[in-house]
Structure 1
Amino acid sequence: MSVERHYDREFVRTFFTSPTAVEGEDDSAKMIQSAAQLRGLKAPDVWVPDNEDATAPSMRDEGVENIISVVAEHGAEFPGEIHPRMVWHRERPTTRYQGFQHMLQIANPDNGAVEHIDGFVIPEVGDIDDWKKADEFFTIVENEYGLEEGSLSMSVIVESGEAELALGDLRAEMGKPSNNLERLFLLVDGEVDYSKDMRGMTPTGELPSWPELRHNTSRGASAAGLIAVDGPFDDIRDIEGYRERMIDNRAKGMIGIWSLTPSQVVEANTEPLPPQTGSWLLTAGDTDIELEQTNGKHIYDGDSVSLSVEDDDTHHLVVGSDEHTLDRDELRSELLKMTAYVPSMDDIVDSMEEFEAAKEAGKGAIAMTQSATLVIDGVEIDIETDRMWDEATYQAAMTPIALFQDVYEHRTDQHDELEDRYGADVVNRATQVGN
């Protein structure tokens, strides 16, 4: 069954939430006032004025008024999409009704905000019937004000076992004439409430990582043509941990992640993009070490690997507790197993252009050569590897380029920063390759 999508974005890197009303402040809207004026890499792809968990229950009515006033004033200039988060709960009809009333208030064209709002985020959903209830409220809101059905997208936060199971029902349910679930946009993990629902515990009291949930959400999004987003990373000072989480997510096909602070927004906006420069990695044990490049050579500076020359063709290689006596060819072979190259944006574009030219000339596959000079303990060794490129390899390489093209198309406010990062020539070629 084909599903008509109501949005253009193929990727979302950042899902940034802001409290809609802060208690005890002269201006309760100060947090969303500040967020609405973010630009460039500091501005998220999706901004979520959060009228649920981030806002005290006693302040939520005021929070709705703040959403309306701030979005009416700044929404036209905000470079990302705007999706306020409403209250909802699969087991509480009064909470669902409150969220519905808030949606009606925000979507009223007389208030001047809805023309800048792309949709709403619905938390605490349950089984697929609960998703349909939310969808029906969207349809009622649209019909109440003469908006096109499906013009307000719906994103849900997967925070329960019921919601996780519902991911498997989406493909069959979307597109049925009895619902408007085609309006779905983001599937967002909410590991905190999910842990509570699942009664998950760890010895330290920290959240379980729930890799299964992230896999299932990514799979559900892929099957239904939606976009998957990981939940919040609470340790806002652990930038390296945040990066590692994003790397792990991308291996699952989940590009986007929740951002709690503007600094996390910058990290999440830049981390998924292809690197500015290429680098060689050396694996020592379970650790991948990025080699320092100096004068065209890639230098290892560490204690986990050592290399010495015994005579002209005999080398002594120590990796952890393992020792090897190798001739030069054997050493090259061993180092090739221990190394990997991380291509830059320029490298990826070069390879894709070369394959496109070969394909135009009638070739179905070509070999791409990658070489480097490694330096370990002052000993230099040249390595070289060939990788066969065919159509499947080309399409796989297209994923990071497609992300870049999507960003470039939808985030014109980031053009200058992207050109500063890669150079105007590389940016221009990257926007053209694959088209």
Structure 2
Amino acid sequence: MSVQRRHDRKFVRTFFTTPTAVKGEEDSAKMLRRAVQLRGIEAPDVWVPDNEDATAPSMREEGAENIVDVLSEDGADFPGEIHPRIVWHRDSPSTRYQSLQQLLQIANPEKGAIEHIDGFVIPEVGDIDDWKKADEFITVVENEYGLEEGSLAMSVIVESGEAELALGDLRDEMGKPSNNLERLFLLVDGEVDYTKDMRAITPTGELPPWPELRHNTSRGASANGLIAIDGPYDDIRDVEGYHERMTENQAKGMLGIWSLTPGQVEEANKSPLPPKTGSWRLDVNGREVKLAEEDGLYIYEGDDVELEEIGDEQYRLQIGSDERELDTNELEEELLDRADYIPSMTDIVDSMEEFEAAKEAGRGAIAMEQSATLLIDGIEVTISNDRMWDEATYQAAQTPISLFQDVYENRPDQHEDLEEIYGEEIVERAMVVG
């Protein structure tokens, strides 16, 4: 059964939630008004006015009114997509009824907000039948207001074992004439409620990492033409930990993450994009150490690796407690095994252009050299290897470039930021390669 993808975005880097009503403030919508003004690299790909967990239950009616007021006034100028989160619960008919009321209030064309809304986020979903209930409510609202059926996207937050199992049912259900599940857009992990639903306990009370959930969500998105988003990283000052989490996710194909602050939005907007400059790193007892670059040399500055010349082309290499005596060739081979290169945007574009030229000339595979001179304890060691590029390598390299192209096409407000990062010339080349 063929499912027609209804959303234009191929990638979403940032999913940013904002309370819709703040109690005790003269203007309860002040956080919405602040968020709708975000632009450039601080503005998310998807903004979520959050009328569920981020807003107190007693304020949600006012929160729905605030969504309408703010979006009708300023929604047209927001550079990303807008997907309000409304209430829902798989086990509560009364909550689902409240969801329908919120949908009807926010989507009323006479109030002027719906023309700026791309879809809705549904939390706390259960099995696939529950997903279809939410879809049916949105279909009812579309028909009530004369909106094109399927025009409003639906994103779900995977916060239960039931919802995780439903990921495996999507391929059989999407495309059936009895539902409009083709409207699905984002699959978002909600690890906090998922942990509660799984009755999980950790000694410290911290959340388990749940790598299986993130893998399953990413796989479900890939299998159904959707986009996977990781849940919130609530230690907002831990920038390094946020980056580590995003790096782990990207290796699973989950290129988007929940952002709680404009600062996290900026970090997450940049994270999946290729770096401006290439860099080498060294595996030191399972820990990846980035090498400093100076005058064409890549310098190890730590204390865990020691290198000493003990004779003519003879060296003593100590890494942690492991000490070995090696000749020049053995030393180069050992360091090459431990070194990895992280290519820059320019490196990726250069390689893709070179492979495209080779294909045009009738060659199916080419060798590309990677080399560097490492400096350890004052001793220079040059390492070099040849990497074969074929069609599969080319396609794998295309993913970060496709992401960049998707961002550039869909976020014109970030053009200046991207050109400042990479330079105008490499941006132009990146937009035509592939």
Q: TM-score range by the shorter chain?
A: over 0.9
Tell me how far apart the structure 1 counterparts of residues 343 and 74 of structure 2 sit (CA, whole Å).
39
- Correspondence 1:184 to 2:165: no
What secondary structure sits across from 2:76 in the alignment? coil
- Which residue of the partner structure matches residue 115 of structure 1? 115
1:311 CA drift (Å): 1.4
Match of residue 274 from structure 1? 274
Equivalent-residue separation in structure 1 for 2:162 and 2:429 (angstroms):
45
d(CA) in 2 for partners of 1:138, 1:20 = 20
Uncovered stretches (5+) of structure 1, i.e. residues with no partner: none
Percent of aligned positions that are identical: 73
Which residue in the other structure is 1:372 paired with? 372
Deviations 1:196-216 (CA, angstroms, capped at 9, x unpaired): 000011000001111110000
The CA deviation string for residues 277-312 of structure 1, in whole angstroms up to 9 with x for no partner, is 000011101111111110011000001111110112
User: What are the superposed Cα offsets for residues 255-292 of structure 1, whole Å, 9 maximum, x if unpaired?
Assistant: 00000111100000001100010000111011111111
Tell me if 1:67 matches 2:80.
no
Cα distance between partner residues in 2 of 1:119 and 1:126: 19
Give the equivalent residue in structure 2 for 1:430. 430
Question: In the TM superposition, what whole-angstrom CA distance separates every residue of 1:78-127 from its partner, at most 9, and x where no partner exists?
Answer: 00000000000001011001011111111111000000000000000000
How many angstroms apart in 1 are the aligned matches of 2:6 and 2:70? 25
Q: Which amino acid aligns with 2:137?
A: F
**Partners of 1:116 and 1:197 in 2: CA distance:** 34
Match of residue 14 from structure 2: 14
- Does 2:190 match 1:198? no
Residue type of the alignment partner of 2:281 = L
Q: Structure 2: which amino acid aligns with 1:109?
A: P
1:86 matched to which residue of 2? 86
Q: How does 1:26-425 map to 2 (within 5 A)?
A: 26-425=26-425
Structure 2 counterpart of 1:155, one-letter code: S
C-alpha displacement at 1:182, in angstroms? Answer: 0.1
Q: Residue 22 of structure 1 aligns to a residue in which SS? A: coil
Distance 1:166 1:396 in 2: 29
- For 1:199 and 1:135, locate their aligned partners in 2 and report how far apart those are by CA, in whole Å: 28
Pairwise CA distance, 1:432: 0.5
User: For the residues of structure 1 that align with 2:78 and 2:6, how far apart are their CA atoms?
Assistant: 20
Partner SS, residue 89 of structure 1:
coil
User: For residues 430 and 346 of structure 1, what CA distance do their matches in structure 2 show?
Assistant: 8
Deviation string, structure 1 residues 353-390 (Cα, Å, up to 9, x no partner): 00000000000000000111100000001111100000
| CA–CA distance in structure 2, aligned partners of residues 342 and 193 of structure 1 | 36
Name the amino acid aligned to 2:190: G
Q: 1:13-64, CA deviations, whole angstroms, 9 ceiling, x for partnerless residues?
A: 0000000000000000000100000000100000000000000011001000
Q: How many residues align?
A: 434
For residues 257 and 116 of structure 1, the distance between their equivalents in structure 2, rounded to whole angstroms, comes to 23
Report the RMSD for the aligned CA atoms in angstroms.
Answer: 0.5
Q: Give, in whole Å, the separation in 2 of the partners of 1:252 and 1:396.
A: 13
Structure 1 runs (4+) deviating above 2 angstroms are none
**1:324 Cα deviation from its structure 2 partner:** 1.1
CA displacement at 1:74 relative to structure 2: 1.1
Shift of 1:323: 0.8
* Structure 2 gaps, min length 5: none
Residues in 1 aligned to 2:186 and 2:6: alpha-carbon distance in whole angstroms = 12
| Distance across 1 between alignment mates of 2:217 and 2:24 | 38
Deviations for 1:382-433, whole angstroms, at most 9, x for unmatched residues? 1111000000000000000000000000000000000000000000000000
2:98 is aligned with what amino acid? Q
Cα distance in 1, alignment partners of residues 414 and 78 from structure 2: 12
TM-score (norm 1): 0.99
TM-superposition CA deviations, 1:154-196 (whole Å, max 9, x none) = 0000000000000000011000000000000000000000000
Residue deviations 1:314-360, cap 9 Å, x none? 01100111111111011110010010000000000000000000000
SS at match of 1:149: coil
